[in-house]
Structure 1
Amino acid sequence: MEKLLEQIKKGTVWAFPGGVHPPQQKSLSNNAPIARLPLPEKLVLPLKQHIGASGKLIVEKNQHVLKGQPLTKPSANWSVPVHAPTSGTIIDITPMPSAHPSALPELSIIIEPDGKDTWCELSPLANPANASHDELVDVIHNAGISGMGGAGFPTYVKADIKQPIEFLIVNAVECEPYITADDTLMREHAAEIIKGIELMQQLLNPTLCIIGIEDNKPEAITAMTEAAKHNEHILIQTVPTVYPSGGEKQLIKLLTNREVPNGGIPADIGILVHNTGTLFAIQQAVYEGKPLIERVVTVTGNTIHNPGNVWALLGTEIKHLLDCQGFSPVPQQRVVMGGPMMGFTLPTVRIGVVKTTNCILAPDHKELAEPGPEKACIRCSACADACPASLLPQQLQWFAKSKEYDKLQEHNLFDCIECGACAYVCPSEIPLVQYYRVAKVEIKEQIAEKIKSDRAKERFDARKARLEQEQAERKNRHKRKPAPKSTEEQQKVADALARVKDKTSDGDNKSAVAAAIARAKAKKQGGELEPDNSEVAKERAARKEQARLYKEQKAQNNGDDEPVDDKKSAVAAAIARAKAKKAAQANEQAQSDDTESESPVATDDKKAAVAAAIARAKAKKAAQANEQAPSDDTVSESPVAADDKKAAVAAAIARAKARKAAQANEQAAADNTASELPDAADDKKAAVAAAIARAKAKKAAADNTASELPDAADDKKAAVAAAIARAKAKKAAQANELAKQSENAEPQGNDESSEGSQQTAQEKKKAAVAAAIARAKAKKQQKEGNDQS
């Protein structure tokens, strides 16, 4: 550190990489003193003229304001107020074009001066040397001072920095061509600038203050040296004229041989940099109480008749400055805010002066020619050689055109100071800086969107956690923990439990009564007793064991190795009911087939429809009877009336009856079909058919008798089955009677031929045979029913 100080004090200057030497053109404007301009017709003051948040409005339309009166107040971090540059009336508060290449509208205050230029009450510090740190910072903050040589960083933030500062650097280089605002300010107000430096020394307490001035400003060097000779901690250092030596990082390298780390700030290496205009504004705020309402602006160019530096009120339109200095525009005139290297062309001259405006350049076509069309890069590497930040401008331009923002950040795009040296030396006239500016804006927007989405996700997660917590609290809100019992109460509960256990051995009923009495006593004594279900469990286990023994004994008596399961018997009964229903459906189908086959014989449509309806009704009634039989069997199989074996026997009986009914229906359908065949016309065939029917009926009866074993049912079930059989026989007889009547009906109509008469006689004979067979079947079924009963 001591060696570095010695080198600095000896005047050692270190070189930075890159740099160019454009024509200076400073002599146009630095030969005349700073001029005062008449009041403009109106002032357009944007609320935001610095980096950070804009202030909050504290005035309204049609309000009269005084010179120096605050129009906004700080509302957030990095927010500084804006003050009225002169007295007048606020005629409007509306968005106006901003001092930016895009000229996007920003909320602005429009003041119409009253011409009196009346100051508000000013409050300077009586003794700044004895003022506290916070008092000085508040004065700088309330005066609305921000950086006046670069991006407009709020000065109060730098003044209140907590990191230790070794070197305070005053940037008086002013390296860009044409601009002489700081040069003339140092010539005329060197003492005020030194006072501002001493105020910053009081706030930051640096080891050394270095004022860097280019060697092309001899008058400014002399004035500043004379003003600082009484302060041994201020050093005037002359630097060579190389563009961009006025860049913050480049000036630090020149004066201290230190480099600001990538993505860092000068304070990270113990250095702070201020502009001469900013220090002058600090002196004005502290010693005179004046806020920042004006600044020195260079108005120059070949189209200006009186180029020079003027005191411009903030908000003054550029047109007013040009007109006051004698502006003679040329066709396709360009007006640039800033210098020729880092400035930008204004879309309109109705834009107002802001805190960072240091130059208005109005060149002719020879002075600043229009850029030609962009050509292909020839990879000459001139841009890389000129870059003061040691970047790769050509590579950055390719990434910017293809919007590869990740690669741009990897190649340190944000280290670019937008000095324009690369574009100045490019033989292909590629506007490299414009690509970088657009890419920076888009990357910042992406970062802002990501931050916004991350915050939204955090809020969502926090809300979800809060709702879950509230839900859990609602569930547990009514759950009250019992108060802790005292030792005496716990002993009472233990004694009661012991008495209950002693009384449980007296018997089942006595134990239950004793347990209830014990619980009541325990509750009366203030204790809480858990219910004792041990006796109930024992009784349930005993009943289960008794039931199990009964089932085993029953199974042994019946000769079965395994007891019949109630569930299996219920399933068997359900299957029997399903089979009976299926048989009824088959019967109904057979009846419908008989009706269809007999329709040609009956010949009368109305009678056929009646016969079909009667057949369907009988079939439905038979189905209901079949369904009733299994239900009766199921009722008789209730757990109270019979044991498991009886249920199984009843299910077997129901299945046998269903099978028998299905066989009977099938036999009846076959007999009816056989009786209608033309080959059975004679008596012999009828006799044969009757014999076959009787044999089948006898076989069915034998099957029925075999299925109804003597040990298959008790007396009650036998009676029920007999009643059902009699009902079925009676229904079958009625059905046969009705069929006989329908078959014997004679057709009406006109007389037919002799051949039709013979056919009718044969049909009558067939009907007689079928009726006889049906009566025989009915009589046999009735006899079987009587035998069963």
Structure 2
Amino acid sequence: MLKTFEHGIHPPGHKHTAHSDIHRFPFAPLLILPLSQHIGAPARSIVQVGQEVRRGEPIAEPAAFVSVAMHAPVSGTIKHIGPAPGVRGMTPAISIEPFPASSQEVAWSRPRNVQNLTPEEIVDAVQQAGIVGMGGAAFPAHVKYKIPTGKFADTLLINGVECESFLTTDHRVMLEEALDILVGIRLVLRAIQCRRAVIGIENNKPDAIQILRTAIKGEAGAHALRMVPGDYDISVQALKVKYPQGAEKMLIKAVLNREVPEGGLPIDVRTVVSNVATVAAVGHLLPRGAGLIERVITITGNGIDHPGNYRIPIGTPLGTVMKHAGLKPDAGEIVLGGPMMGVAVDRLEIPVTKGASGIVVFTQAEVSAMNRTEYACIRCGHCVDVCPIFLNPARMGRLARNREYERMRDEMHLMSCFECGSCSYICPSNIPLVQYFRLAKNVLRGRSTP
């Protein structure tokens, strides 16, 4: 029997781009790079307006340990440093105007031999490469790879689940970048001083499962061993298809049958979790001494003419993306991320950032067909049945309507909710439960700020 976790839902897959190869994306006339593309302290600019930079050159440095560097995704001129449009409003950013006929070749790098890198050197290199979690959270990857004093990891769990509907980014990375994945896994294993890695993949991706199993035992695995020597045990675990299996706690439960304690982290159960695209970035960038300047993104939905998987320069405005993908006249809504955990955007000036894994475009007819009229809770209990962490969303929703946010936190474990949206999806009364919970958290965080 295939492994999985308890509860969860089964939304339609809509993985229409699963067989679309990754293609490069052209440069926009102006690239906008927010200094805060990750959880933690924003990066600190190290360039000036008017300065010429080369593709791959560092343009911002980490401002703290929980922060990462940023690099120029194009050779060009720094045009502006200051507020620019972002998903959460205006945000400090660096804008670069490309040189005419600027090349996609990386013009700045510092290749290194990774054979003998120490754990500390790997952690520092990941931070300086600007690598963040590429599954959506954008948490600085090096922070995960630095094990706290008194803790240890016995398993590195690689997240190749990609359970969000429509998105096929990780699927294509697994099919096309197996060597980078294996090199990255070995580097991360060395960093966290652990021997075992398990790649979790849902069984609706049999080609990825087969390719990685073959790569581990074949020439790719042998090449990765030569690049990063070490006696490491790397395997692939097929999983039952279910949402939200890609969430860290759910994946740990499914693969290892371990439960992360409330308020705890994966390392509390001897586990480090990293997205498959993140370790691919580690394996690709560290040997080259390069920075994260582009990422693979799924562009899909009935509102565009040219769906596919594209390697897009970080900082490309959505307007340029939509123009290249063929935005249809009847497009009704653009969602950055997947339909379950993504956010609808209303400004095409917003740029692609390191954490963006997909763009889904719905037509006006599809948006109109979504019945968003909210009705009273009928106490059916479906939300309780599907909640992957066994909360009571119905009860929490009633408290939210009464603005009893402290009770939600203290009595109903609000802060354990990771906003997967399963409760909202299953609710027959169309109650936007996850939006209520998100609002409650924001209010509580505001009240706790001095």
With normalisation by structure 1, the TM-score equals 0.53
Match of 1:215 among 187, 203, 215: 203
Q: CA deviation at 1:270?
A: 0.4
8 Å CA contact retained: 2:131, 2:141 = yes
Q: CA deviation at 1:361?
A: 0.3
8 Å CA contact retained: 1:303, 1:364 = yes
Equivalent pairs, count:
432
Instruction: Determine the C-alpha separation between the residues in 2 that align with 1:401 and 1:60.
Output: 49
Counterpart position of 1:201: 189
Matching residue's letter, 1:212: G
Pairing 1:75-86 to 2, within 5 Å after superposition? 75-86=63-74
Counterpart position of 2:94: 109
Match of 1:20 among 4, 9, 20: 9
Secondary structure of 2:58's partner? coil
Q: CA deviation at 1:446?
A: 2.0
Pairing 1:61-210 to 2, within 5 Å after superposition? 61-99=49-87, 103-114=88-99, 115-117=101-103, 119-126=106-113, 128-162=114-148, 163-210=151-198
Q: Does 1:227 align with 2:203?
A: no
Instruction: Determine the C-alpha separation between the residues in 2 that align with 1:199 and 1:193.
Output: 10
Instruction: Determine the C-alpha separation between the residues in 2 that align with 1:194 and 1:286.
Output: 13
Instruction: Determine the C-alpha separation between the residues in 2 that align with 1:373 and 1:167.
Output: 45
1:376-409 superposed Cα distances (whole Å, 9 cap, x missing partner): 1111111111111110111112222322222111
Instruction: Determine the C-alpha separation between the residues in 2 that align with 1:379 and 1:122.
Output: 59
8 Å CA contact retained: 2:296, 2:309 = yes
8 Å CA contact retained: 2:57, 2:109 = no
Counterpart position of 1:476: none
Q: CA deviation at 1:94?
A: 2.3
Counterpart position of 1:443: 444
Instruction: Determine the C-alpha separation between the residues in 1 that align with 2:292 and 2:415.
Output: 30
Matching residue's letter, 1:193: I
8 Å CA contact retained: 1:14, 1:257 = no
Instruction: Determine the C-alpha separation between the residues in 2 that align with 1:208 and 1:13.
Output: 20
Q: Which runs of 4+ in 1 moved over 3 A?
A: 12-15, 117-121, 365-371
8 Å CA contact retained: 2:83, 2:92 = yes
Q: CA deviation at 1:367?
A: 4.6
Counterpart position of 1:342: 341
Instruction: Determine the C-alpha separation between the residues in 1 that align with 2:360 and 2:350.
Output: 14
Instruction: Determine the C-alpha separation between the residues in 1 that align with 2:403 and 2:84.
Output: 31
Matching residue's letter, 1:37: F
Matching residue's letter, 2:198: I
8 Å CA contact retained: 2:55, 2:108 = no
Counterpart position of 1:37: 25
Q: CA deviation at 1:448?
A: 2.6
Structure number with greater CO (CA < 8 Å, separation at least 6) is 2
Matching residue's letter, 2:28: P
Instruction: Determine the C-alpha separation between the residues in 2 that align with 1:14 and 1:237.
Output: 8
Instruction: Determine the C-alpha separation between the residues in 2 that align with 1:166 and 1:119.
Output: 36
8 Å CA contact retained: 1:303, 1:363 = yes
Pairing 1:577-592 to 2, within 5 Å after superposition? none
Counterpart position of 1:433: 434
Instruction: Determine the C-alpha separation between the residues in 2 that align with 1:302 and 1:75.
Output: 41
Instruction: Determine the C-alpha separation between the residues in 2 that align with 1:376 and 1:97.
Output: 37
Instruction: Determine the C-alpha separation between the residues in 1 that align with 2:32 and 2:370.
Output: 30
Pairing 1:717-728 to 2, within 5 Å after superposition? none
Q: Does 1:253 align with 2:250?
A: no
Matching residue's letter, 2:130: G
With normalisation by structure 2, the TM-score equals 0.93
Counterpart position of 2:395: 395
Q: CA deviation at 1:232?
A: 6.1
Instruction: Determine the C-alpha separation between the residues in 2 that align with 1:417 and 1:224.
Output: 30
Q: Does 1:357 align with 2:356?
A: yes
Counterpart position of 1:540: none
Instruction: Determine the C-alpha separation between the residues in 1 that align with 2:85 and 2:301.
Output: 24
Instruction: Determine the C-alpha separation between the residues in 2 that align with 1:84 and 1:308.
Output: 25
Identity rate of aligned residues, in percent?
40
Instruction: Determine the C-alpha separation between the residues in 1 that align with 2:190 and 2:279.
Output: 13
Pairing 1:403-552 to 2, within 5 Å after superposition? 403-410=403-410, 411-449=412-450
Q: CA deviation at 1:124?
A: 2.0
- For residues 338 and 371 of structure 1, do their structure 2 counterparts lie closer, same or farther at Cα, with a shift above 3 Å needed? farther
Instruction: Determine the C-alpha separation between the residues in 1 that align with 2:268 and 2:232.
Output: 25
8 Å CA contact retained: 1:170, 1:210 = yes
8 Å CA contact retained: 1:139, 1:285 = no
Counterpart position of 2:226: none
8 Å CA contact retained: 2:4, 2:239 = no
8 Å CA contact retained: 1:165, 1:207 = no
Q: CA deviation at 1:122?
A: 1.3
Q: CA deviation at 1:287?
A: 1.0
1:544-600 superposed Cα distances (whole Å, 9 cap, x missing partner): xxxxxxxxxxxxxxxxxxxxxxxxxxxxxxxxxxxxxxxxxxxxxxxxxxxxxxxxx
1:477-534 superposed Cα distances (whole Å, 9 cap, x missing partner): xxxxxxxxxxxxxxxxxxxxxxxxxxxxxxxxxxxxxxxxxxxxxxxxxxxxxxxxxx
8 Å CA contact retained: 2:119, 2:193 = no
8 Å CA contact retained: 1:80, 1:145 = yes
Secondary structure of 1:228's partner? helix
Matching residue's letter, 2:444: I
Q: CA deviation at 1:133?
A: 2.0
Counterpart position of 1:238: 238
Instruction: Determine the C-alpha separation between the residues in 2 that align with 1:371 and 1:358.
Output: 27
Secondary structure of 1:242's partner? coil
Instruction: Determine the C-alpha separation between the residues in 2 that align with 1:342 and 1:143.
Output: 27
8 Å CA contact retained: 2:7, 2:385 = yes
8 Å CA contact retained: 2:4, 2:240 = no
Instruction: Determine the C-alpha separation between the residues in 1 that align with 2:48 and 2:252.
Output: 45
Q: CA deviation at 1:207?
A: 4.1
**Whose radius of gyration is greater, 1 or 2?**
1
RMSD of Structure 2 on Structure 1 (CA)? 1.6
1:160-193 superposed Cα distances (whole Å, 9 cap, x missing partner): 2132101110000000110000001110111111
Pairing 1:548-567 to 2, within 5 Å after superposition? none
Instruction: Determine the C-alpha separation between the residues in 2 that align with 1:40 and 1:46.
Output: 16
Structure number having the greater helix percentage = 1
Q: CA deviation at 1:235?
A: 1.2
8 Å CA contact retained: 1:13, 1:254 = no
Counterpart position of 1:772: none
8 Å CA contact retained: 1:252, 1:259 = yes
Instruction: Determine the C-alpha separation between the residues in 2 that align with 1:233 and 1:133.
Output: 18
